[in-house]
Structure formats: structure tokens, C-alpha cells
Chains A and B, each alone.
Chain A
């Protein structure tokens, strides 16, 4: 008997409209567990190098994990993987919400989709049964309309739906996938892959609870963590102020990304703080499956000139900044509206905001003219222009068509030196945490297999002091000594090797970063006990860390096959220069040589070639990836 997983992996070929169910052995689950590790197994085995990401040959994989669906706190997440149309690298994004647990209850551990349909379709999965249904009537509809129609036509309002809006249909390279209208597989353009397959949605309904090895133990730990969540200051902060709490510190310090990264000083920052948010646009907070934290914001605006529909959630920190200060915009109501539009159309708000900020800078510098913008005065701070451009990008009209390709391709097409205004790693736009104050985050931006991402490892401040939660609670990983957030020496590199692997384990298992140390109250011991009690496997953190490392190496090989090299493990030039303006004026530059040295050391610590960053055969053998050695040799 299996615990935690169903033993069923659903394969679907949308070209032939055929499906089949694979029943892998326990050793497969024990090797890959779920999420990105499981997805990368299929991507490396079944996808040829240099596959066009928007062709039928790309795989699109939805993967919860062996833990998903347990009632333990903060484990609702699932992964979507494909080759990314934004980066050309391994593409990956995790989402919370309810869809992942529902898929497990519907008897599947993952869905591997290949091919593409000639006409729009959606999948309907109910308790082990699969139907490919016509979606012609849904094509072109936004996510709210689509969810309503599917629930009505299947006559069940408890159906959970992962879907794309018009941006995914129109192959916007940073289109994303949403479930329950407000939980996103946000980055890497995976919604465009779904659109290229003419797959509008996957509707799931499951009624079979996951079999747990020790239900009582899971229940006991759940109660203990939940009780602590109520009083813990970090969890309370997430619940009461949410991620927008980050705005105040960054704004007052002068490191809030602003005006397309030209400064960290945004003098209207007070208007973007969590306190302003709570007073002006917050309707309520909501949570994901089995999560007591309830960190997610829901915004509502109901004024004569602007209305924001709360069905689509509300802007989180990343969105407030990327659709706000990075575009020079300080009106939270317009930012909430821009967020609603991105969510309705399924576009990543980070990439959308940055590509618009890039266009604003190009306009201000004379690289784009009013002729290019069809008469829009595309200056920083123009909040009406923000909303117009989001519409144009989602529907690929006018300048929006150019920007829908992401900032890298857009800059290439504009030419005239526009490349100096883009800020990306491996083609993915930089998130809203400035690595000049958190160098470990910078290392993760540079080394991330799927382009710059702020959730690749816990952030530096959690390890700054002997009393820091990361040092007190994570000694079991060998993390014993604090390191300054701005240090970029050997100890920082070694620390972030471990932290990268640690949060990669979270991503594989679908564990929310906000539920466990160092970001919150669940301990490493409790997390391990939940895993053991769910699966019945006598596992250890040693095995889990090897699992994380295994997937990092698989992604590295995938990208190597696609032509990525050590030259792609870099930071945007702006971070090698001091802050301009505000309290940090003239400070903060990361020393480029030190950073490059740190990257090389990280390669060595990972067991990769110190110059090329390619995994060595010995490392692949250690991780049970000997089947990939030929890829390295070739």
C-alpha cells in the first residue's frame, strides 16, 4: 500500500486526444517525490534539446508531490514545468491555492501533457476519470468568466480550475496559470505554453482523501503548529500586514525598486505601505488549502472612476512594487486595478511591470516615440498608461505586441542601445528585492535555473546574527555561524548552497515557504515528522537535501543541453553600482570581481566544473543521475 501518493501519473497527448495512466514503482517516487524533480525527469527523458517552447513537442507538466493533500499546515503548493518561452531554459513556477490537493484527491500525482489540440479544449478530471472537452466557447474569455461557465456546465461549484486567460491564449511570453482566480504559477511564461497547446483549463474534482501512514501524528503536529501560528509575530505580520509589510522598510531605507531600477528612493512610498493598503483597499485576507496563516490579500475598490473586483485577489509586495514604484506609480487603487487586469488575463505582474517600466524609460530617453506608443504619453508615473498597456500586451496590440515578448526580446527589436535599460537574468525580469542589501539573494538570482527569482532561497537577514531564527533553528543542516546580509565571501557562498537546496526541497514537496523556518514557525523537525507520517518512509534531512540537489543538477543539465553556459549566471549591471538618491545614496555596489569569485566557488561546492559550471560525472553518480552522464560528455 502506498501512503501520500496515488501511484497514478496521467499522460495526455492533445494532438491525438489520447490519454494513459502510468503506475511508477515506489523507487520512482522515492527518487523524485514530485514537483520540479518529477517534472524534470520527464523533460529530460522525453523532450529533445532545442524544442521550440511554443511547439507541440514541449511538455507541460502539473506536479504536486507525495505530501500534497495532507491536512498538515502550509503544504498546498504544486509545480508547473515546461521549457520556458521567456527564457528558453527549464521553466518552473509553483502555486498555492486548492488545485494541487484536489488533483491528488482525484487520484493523480501528476499530469504530463504533450502535443497540441487543433481547437480549444479543457480537461475534466473527476475521481480518476478523464475527459477532453471542447473549449471553443471559452476561448477569449477572462478567468472569472471561464471559471463561472465551467462550474455551471459541470454543475459543481466545488470544482477547482487551473486555467489561462487571453494573455496565455495570445502567447504572451510571461503569461501565467491561475487557480481559484488568485493563486498563480506566476513566472516563466508557462501560461503561453498552455495557450500553445490550445488548453484553456484543467478542471478537477476529487473526493478520495489521501492515505496517510500515521494520521494521528499528522493531526497532532498540525494542531501544535497552528496554535503557535496564532501568536507568533512573523506569522501575525503575514496575516495582518501580509507581504506588503515589506514596502515600508525598503521605502524608508531607500532600496524600494523604482523608476526601472534607476533608484531605490521613492518619495511617495508611504502611499504603497501595508498600513495604507489596509486603510484604503483591503477587503479581507484569505488562505490556501489547510493553511492557518491566511497571508493573501483581497482588494476592492468601488469608486466612480475606478473599480477593482475582489474576485481576483489583491496585489502582494512584488506586484505593488512592479506595477507601482518601478513604473513611478504611487496610486494604490490603480496598482490594484492593474493587478486585477493582469490576473484576469493571466500575466505575471513582475515581468509585466518591468517590461512597462522599461518602455517608459525608453520613451523618456527618446528610444520610443509617440508614434511607437500610438499617442500614449508613456512617462514614468502615468497610471492611465499602465492600464492601457496591460490591455495592449494581453491582446498583443500595437506596442503591446512588442512588449509581450518580454524585455530582452523587446530591447533587441528596439535596438539603439535599449538593452542597457533591461534588468534580467537568463531572460527573466528581476524581482523586487535589491541584491545590494542581500547578496545571497543576488547569488540566487544569478544561479537560478529558471531565471531571476526571489523565492530560490531564504533571504540573508534570517542568518545575520547568532540569535537569528535561521541560525537558531537550522543547525541541523550545519548552519552554525551568522553571516552579514551584505557579505559576499566564502561563508555566504557555503550558506546559500545549503539554503538553495533547502527551499528547492520545499518547491519539490509543495511546502509553502511562509509555513516553516526560517520564515515562520514550523520547525525542520516538525516538517520531517510530517513527511515521515504522511509517507511511512523513514527518511532524513540527508535524503531530502540530496533530493533537492538532484533536481538542481537535473535542471542544470537541461539548461546545458539548451546552450546555457556559465556566462548566463550573472547579475544585471545596475547592481555593481551604488544606489542613487535617498538614504543609501552612494553606497551599496556589489564588487563584481568578488561576485564572480563567489559564483565559481559555488560551482565547486556543488561538485560542478569550476570554470564551466557543468555537473561532473561523479556528482551525477552520487545523486543517482548516472543516466545523464552522456549529456555531460556530449
Chain B
């Protein structure tokens, strides 16, 4: 299955890309995807799969686009 990751906000500067793509042969958690792409969970505030807000332990069982939103401070 194909997992594409869309990076929002400063994540695209930090990880030098807007979209990352990975292939997996079996279900995988978002935590594992973050590890595989070397994206620090410390940078991520919200995770969205389709219309769902999910956490890092969410299990991806089919091809999906994950949107990662950076930590948000005051301003």
C-alpha cells in the first residue's frame, strides 16, 4: 500500500519537502511511518487521515494520505 505524507507549515522547510511517499506491504502505525521518514513527533501537533483526526498509534491498513500539521504557538 502507498502512504503519502503531506507536510504543512514549517514542516516542509524542516524536512525539505511538501510530500513524502512510502510503500508498505502490511498495516503500519503512523508512529512507524514517522520513524521511517525521520520526522520527529515533537514537531507534529495534529495528524489527519482523510477527514479523521488521529493519533500516532493509528493503524493504516490501506493506501492513504496523511497530513501532518506542525506545533502551534501563540501569535
Which of A's residues lie within 8 Å of B, judged by CB?
233-234, 236-238, 241, 243, 245-246, 248-250, 252-254, 295, 316-318, 433, 441, 454-455, 458-459, 461-462, 464-469, 485, 513-514, 518-519, 583-584
Contact A254 B53, beta carbon cutoff 8 Å? yes
A248 and B41 contact, CB distance less than 8 A: no
Chain B contact residues, CB within 8 Å of chain A: 8-11, 13-14, 40-42, 45-46, 48, 51-53, 67, 69-75
Partner of A246, one of B13, B40, B75: B75
Please determine whether A583 and B51 come into contact, CB atoms closer than 8 angstroms.
Answer: yes
Partner of B13, one of A237, A317, A466, A519: A237
- Chain B contact residues: helix, strand, loop or mixed: mixed
A233:B45 contact, CB within 8 angstroms:
no
Checking A248, A455, A461 against B71 with a beta-carbon cut-off of 8 angstroms, the contacting residue is A461
Q: Which 5 A-B pairs have the closest CB atoms?
A: A461-B71, A237-B10, A465-B42, A249-B69, A243-B75
Assess whether B69 is in contact with A469, with CB atoms less than 8 Å apart. Answer: no
Which residues from B are CB-within-8-Å of A583?
Answer: 48, 51-53
CB <8 Å contact, A241 and B9: yes
Given A316-B75, A455-B74, A459-B73, A248-B42 contact (CB < 8 Å): no
Given contacts A245-B9, A253-B69, A461-B71, 19 further A-B contacts (CB under 8 A): A233-B10, A233-B11, A236-B13, A237-B10, A237-B13, A241-B9, A249-B45, A252-B48, A295-B75, A454-B74, A458-B73, A461-B45, A462-B71, A466-B42, A467-B41, A468-B42, A469-B42, A513-B75, A519-B74
Partner of B10 from A236, A252, A465 at Cβ < 8 Å: A236
Q: How far is the CB of A549 from chain B (nearest CB, A)?
A: 21
* Cβ A249 vs Cβ B9 within 8 A: yes
In Å, the complex CA distance between A558 and B73 comes to 29
Residues in A neighbouring B74, C-beta threshold 8 A: 433, 441, 454-455, 458-459, 513, 519
Beta-carbon contact of A248 and B73 below 8 Å: no
Can you sample 20 A-B contacts with CB below 8 Å?
A: A234-B10, A236-B10, A236-B13, A241-B9, A243-B75, A248-B69, A249-B9, A249-B69, A249-B70, A249-B72, A252-B46, A253-B48, A254-B53, A316-B75, A461-B73, A466-B42, A468-B42, A485-B45, A519-B74, A584-B53
Give chain A residues whose Cβ lies under 8 Å from the Cβ of B71.
459, 461-462, 464, 468
Residue of B nearest to A514 (CB): B75
Please give, as numbers and ranges, the residues of chain B lying within 8 Å of A234 by CB-CB distance. 10
A461 to B46, CA, bound (A): 10
**Known contacts A233-B13, A462-B73, A249 near B42 by CB under 8 Å:** no
Q: Which of B48, B52, B67, B70 has the most CB of A within 10 A?
A: B70
The answer for the CA separation of A233 and B73 in the assembled complex, in Å, is 14
CB closest chain-A residue, reference B16? A233
A237 to B10 Cα, complex, angstroms: 5
Complexed CA–CA distance, A477 and B73 (Å): 19
CB atoms of A459 and B72 under 8 A apart: yes
Contact A245 B42 (CB under 8 A): no
**A375 to B42, alpha carbons, bound, how many Å?**
51
